Amino acid sequence: MTDRFSAMKLTYGEECFKAIQESKVLVIGAGGIGCEVLKNLVLAGFINIDVVDLDIIDISNLNRQFLFRMNHVGQPKALVAKDAVLQYNPLANINAYHGDVKTQQFDLEYFKKFNLVLSALDNISARRHVNRLCLSAGLPLVESGTAGYLGQVTIIKKGETECYECHPLPVPKQFPVCTIRSNPSAPIHCIVWAKMLFGKLFGGQKNGGDDDTNGITDMDNNIISGSEENGDIVRDEQLLVEKEKGYKRWVFHKVFNTDIQILAKMADLWKEKQPPSPLSLDNILDQKEIDETSKEGDQLINQLKDQKLWSFKENVEVFLDCAEKLKDQSEKENGLVWDKDDEISLSFVCSASNIRSQIFNIPMKSRFDVKSMAGNIIPAIGTTNAIISGLVLTEAIKIIGGRFNECHSTYLMKEPSSRRLLIPTSLEEPNPKCFVCNRNFITCKLNTDKVTVGKFVNEILKKSLAVNEPILTVGNDLIYEGGDQDLDKEEIAQRKKIEEKIMGQYRLVNGSQVIIEDYNQDFKVTMNIVHTNEFDEDIKKKKEEENKDQNRAKQQDEKKKEEDEKWFEIIGSTTTPSNENKKECDATNTNENGMVDDDDDFEILETPVPESLVCKTSSTASTNTTTTTNTTSLKRKYDEEDSEISDAKKQKSDS
Ligand SMILES: Nc1ncnc2c1ncn2[C@@H]1O[C@H](COP(=O)(O)OP(=O)(O)OP(=O)(O)O)[C@@H](O)[C@H]1O
Ligand SMILES: [Zn+2]
């Protein structure tokens, strides 16, 4: 007798089908790939499925995340996806969770319930977390991702294959900080600057809650040049006048007048081009056209079609309106995260970048252009997701059917190579030097007389090593506890005090061996601390050189710049060796909050991903940026006859 799964049984055999029905599968991410994967699993006969996704459905998801409809916009992806796939097989037992896989709810015990994990994520940080949990639980993990026409599926299994962190992860495409802050020459530089401004003004606690990065505090300062010591302070009294008139005028004056005055004073920058001219808001508002277009911001935003280039005055008007609205929203929500799909946030970045472009004689851009450049959108292609998800299912069935030795990584190319679009490669062995899957020792070189415990924890352990809730032990003493879960107020206050201490004054001295653990990730690594002054020397030298020929006004930027210098090095980490990517002193990328962040998946590419290259990618990259770095030869072991393919490069990239 035939049933709906008879084809499956015929193809894979009764035994394999039984294993499929008995297996428990965890799908992480219900976006572009996740929707396809869920549908494939249910149609193939998988019954026991958990799905986790932290997001709600956005209108922009509907073109490819086909389980979702217009009436689902605003609802949690995981829950809607569950209901949708139940229609394919109402007998399936699906648990859907609207949550972040990095939280304690999805701990090692939770992972251990499954036979297989399928990751359909879109960011490195969550992927690293899932990688660690799967290694700890001994669970096979199918990693997948797409970027435009490119895609990849690979399998990770403890002790048998390389893990997600065995090799260096993408280093984001960066722009020199000085170009962004002082000397933009292309629209993209102004867009990156505008995103940074968004983060500074409205990021609040979501910017890390660090007062140092709070642009509003900075803005209280009306000194535009000089120093107290030298007694040559120049003040911009107008800034205080504007402050009296309200927030939006104050912000406008600070970023488009005071700051521009500072830049204009840097003679060296303007030897070969026209210096920027500070803007006067009153002059702009007095212009006739403003009266003609004096509509409320909301109306204006709605009426102007995305593709229309706003006039300069329209940009100013939109900027003022959005600044006010975003400030209110930020206060209510304790900080905002920049979201290209949020009308007001996008309009703010678009208008701010256009105003800056005008100041520096750079062409302005439409909101449509800004949206794609701010996210360097590689359109997500439903077909790519479908192909990759099909491969995810194929690999899943091999694993569940006990044919792990037949698994391989597969790359989807844009152009056929020897009439093939799909390039299978055999799985790589684990990297013996990997600090994650081989628990190799690592060494951290930094100035222990200068760096605080807080900076060490936040920048090195959390950002660079992706340890979410670090617990530090030296000898037998627990010296720092990262997570907030079990701590009371007093303990949290105590921790804050510890974070303010200099490392060297708190057991983290030259020669200390510190054990770093994250119970949630079941992660453990031993780190040797090595004190060095070498990075300070580098920084000092650079400063001396710069000071020789640059105006003193530029010194105001020094503190910020110092943060971008290389100040530590990790030896032995396979993924994030140091903040070395900032070696050229002045490179930056911004996160979705607009803040500088080097462990982030949201980067801006000046040029698109070379299409001839195969990607080790993230999940769908429709709206986010994709970056490419770190190309390593893709050794084609599976099929040796094609020399073209063996030259192909694989890239780890994320969107
Ligand atoms: N830490 C996490 N925990 C749970 N789900 C996550 C986590 N990080 C990302 N995701 C989910 O992974 C999915 C990735 O899918 P996809 O790349 O299609 O993203 P998207 O946000 O739907 O689309 P786009 O970014 O193109 O607008 C998203 O639905 C996202 O919510
Ligand atoms: Zn590894």
Q: What is the pLDDT of residues 459-494, one digit of tens each?
A: 999 988 999 999 999 998 999 998 766 778 888 888
Handedness of CA 45, 50, 52, 57 (dihedral sign): positive
Band of residue 10 on the pLDDT scale cut at 50, 70, 90: very high
Nearest CA to ligand 1 atom 29: 31
What's the average model confidence in pLDDT over 559-575? 69
pLDDT for 290 equals 45
Q: For residue range 510-542, what is the model confidence (pLDDT) as tens digits?
A: 999 999 999 888 899 999 999 998 887 666 666
| Sign of the CA dihedral running 413, 418, 424, 425 | negative
SS3 of 445-500: EECCCCCEHHHHHHHHHHHHCCCCCCEEEECCEEEEECCCCCCCHHHHHHHHHHHH
- How high is the pLDDT of residue 580? 40
What is the structure's pLDDT at 207? 54
Q: Which of 293-307, 542-556, 592-606 has the lowest mean pLDDT?
A: 592-606
Answer whether residue 130 shows pLDDT above 60: yes
Q: What would the mean pLDDT of 248-277 be, rounded to a whole number?
A: 86
The answer to whether the CB of 430 is under 6 A from ligand 1 is: no
Output the six-digit token pair for 400. 């569940």
3-state secondary structure of 615: strand
Q: What is the pLDDT of residues 95-105, one digit of tens each?
A: 999 999 999 89
Written out in words, the top-level CATH class of the domain with range 12-167+379-425 is: alpha beta
Please choose from 26, 27, 53 the residue to mutate so as to test ligand 1's pocket, defined by most ligand atoms within 8 A of CB: 53
pLDDT of residue 377: 63
Q: Check residue 545 and give its pLDDT.
A: 59
Give one DSSP letter per residue of 632-647, joined into a string: EE----S-TT-HHHHT
Which whole number is the average pLDDT over 314-326?
95
Residue identifier of the C-alpha nearest atom 28 of ligand 1: 31
Identify the pLDDT of residue 9: 93
Best-predicted range by mean pLDDT (278-282, 483-487, 544-548) = 278-282
Residue pair 60/85 in contact by the 8 Å Cβ criterion: no
- Please check the confidence at residue 422 and state whether its pLDDT lies above 90: yes
Taking 90 as the threshold, does the pLDDT of residue 172 lie above it?
Answer: no
Give me the helices (H) in 521-655, please: 534-549, 558-564, 643-646
Across all residues in the chain, what is the average pLDDT?
79
**Rounded distance from Cα 465 to ligand 2 centre (Å):** 13
Per-residue pLDDT at 68 exceeds 50: yes
Do 67 and 37 meet the contact criterion of CB atoms below 8 Å apart?
A: no
Higher-pLDDT residue of 372 and 171 is 372
What three-state secondary structure class fits 148?
A: coil
CA distance 227 to 206: 32
> Which protein residue has the closest C-alpha to ligand 1 atom 27?
623
- State which of 619, 623, 653 you would mutate to test the pocket of ligand 1, scoring each by most atoms of that ligand within 8 A of its C-beta: 619
pLDDT at 382: 93
Residue scoring higher pLDDT (258 or 398): 398
Give the pLDDT score at 325: 95
Please give the Cα distance from 122 to 28 (Å, whole number). 10
Catalytic residues: 178
What lies within 8 Å, CB to CB, of 237 at 6+ separation is 222
Confidence tier at 600 by pLDDT (50, 70, 90): very low
φ/ψ of 159, rounded to 5, equals 80, -15
515 marked ligand binding residue:
no
Q: What is the model's pLDDT at position 228?
A: 59
> Which ligand has an atom closest to residue 62 CA?
1
Neighbouring-strand partners of residue 410: 153, 424
SS3 content of the chain, % helix, strand, coil (to 5): 45, 15, 40
Whole-angstrom distance, CA of residue 641 vs CA of residue 158: 30
Instruction: Give yes or no for residue 53 CB within 6 A of ligand 1.
Output: yes
Mean pLDDT of 37-47: 97
Q: Is the pLDDT of residue 586 over 90?
A: no
Q: Which ligand is nearest to the CA of 468?
A: 1
Structure-model confidence comparison of residues 380 and 321, the more confident one: 321
Say whether pLDDT at 158 is over 70.
yes
Q: Is 434 annotated as ligand-binding?
A: yes
**How many distinct helices (H) and strands (E) make up the chain?**
24, 21
Q: Nearest C-alpha to atom 15 of ligand 1 is from which residue? A: 31
Q: Measured from the CA of 622, which atom of ligand 1 is nearest?
A: 26
Tell me which of 3.10.290.20, 3.40.50.2300, 2.40.70.10, 3.30.1360.120 is the CATH number of domain 442-571.
Answer: 3.10.290.20
d(CA 640, CA 589): 39
User: 590: which DSSP letter?
Assistant: B
At residue 249, the pLDDT reads 93
631 pLDDT above the threshold of 90: no
State the average pLDDT over residues 132-139.
96
283 marked ligand binding residue: no
Rounded CA separation 641/646 (Å): 9
**Is there an atom of ligand 1 within 6 Å of 620 CB?**
yes
Gap from CA of 453 to ligand 1 centroid (Å): 32
Between helices 187-202 and 343-359, what is the axis angle to 10°? 130
Q: Position of tokens 């200390």?
A: 512
* C-alpha R_g of the chain: 26
Bridge partner list, 180:
none
State residue 273's pLDDT score: 80
**pLDDT for res 548:** 52
- What is the per-residue pLDDT for 308? 82
Mean pLDDT throughout 223-250? 76
pLDDT computed for residue 608 by the predictor: 31
Residue type, 386: A
> How many Cβ atoms from other residues are within 10 Å of residue 64's Cβ?
22
Cβ of residue 31 lying under 6 Å from some atom of ligand 1: yes
Q: Give the residue, out of 55, 59, 118, 592, with the most ligand 1 atoms within 8 A of its beta carbon, to mutate for a pocket test.
A: 55
Residue 575 pLDDT: 66
Amino acid 233: pLDDT? 65
Residue ranges near ligand 2 (ion) with Cβ within 5 Å: 163, 166, 434, 436-437
Average pLDDT over residues 231-247: 80
Residue scoring higher pLDDT (305 or 169): 169
Q: Distance between terminal CA atoms of the chain?
A: 47
Confidence of residue 302 (pLDDT cuts 50, 70, 90): low
- Give me the pLDDT at residue 1, please: 55
Those residues with Cβ within 8 angstroms of residue 221's Cβ, 6 or more apart along the chain or in another chain: none
Ligand 1 pocket, residue 30 CB under 6 Å? yes
Closest listed ligand to the CA of 33: 1
Question: What pLDDT shows up at residue 572?
Answer: 79
> How many angstroms separate the CA atoms of 161 and 392, rounded?
17
Q: Which CATH number fits domain 185-361: 3.40.50.1820, 1.10.10.520, 2.30.29.30, 3.40.50.300?
A: 1.10.10.520
What whole-number distance in Å separates Cα of residue 166 and Cα of residue 409?
15
Amino acid at 235: R
101 lines ligand 1 (CB under 6 A): yes
Nearest to 113 by CA among 134, 92, 99, 97: 134
Q: What percent of the chain has pLDDT over 90?
A: 51
Q: Does ligand 1 lie within 6 Å of residue 365's CB atom?
A: no
| Closest ligand to Cα 157 | 2
Work out the pLDDT band at 236, boundaries 50, 70, 90.
confident
Q: Are strands 513-518 and 471-474 parallel, antiparallel or unpaired?
A: antiparallel
CA 229 to chain centre: 41
Range 19-28 average pLDDT: 98
Assign 68 to helix, strand or coil: coil
User: Annotated binding residue at 235?
Assistant: no
Alpha helices in 223-311 (DSSP H): 237-245, 247-253, 259-264, 281-286, 288-292, 297-303
Q: How buried is residue 450: exposed, middle or buried, by Cβ count under 10 Å (0-12/13-18/19+)?
A: middle
CA angle 23/407/123 to nearest 5° reads: 80
User: Phi and psi at residue 34, in whole multiples of 5°?
Assistant: -55, -45
Q: What is the pLDDT of residue 261?
A: 87
Q: What is the pLDDT of residue 541?
A: 63
Does 53 carry a binding-site annotation? yes
**Least confident residue range of 157-161, 211-215, 524-528:** 211-215
Cα gap 102→99, rounded to integer Å: 9
Closest residue by CA, ligand 1 atom 17: 620
Instruction: Enumerate the domain spans of the chain.
Output: 12-167+379-425, 185-361, 442-571
Segment 250-276 mean pLDDT = 86
**Residue 33, marked binder:** yes
| φ, ψ at 523 (rounded to 5°) | -110, 140
Strand partners, 381: none
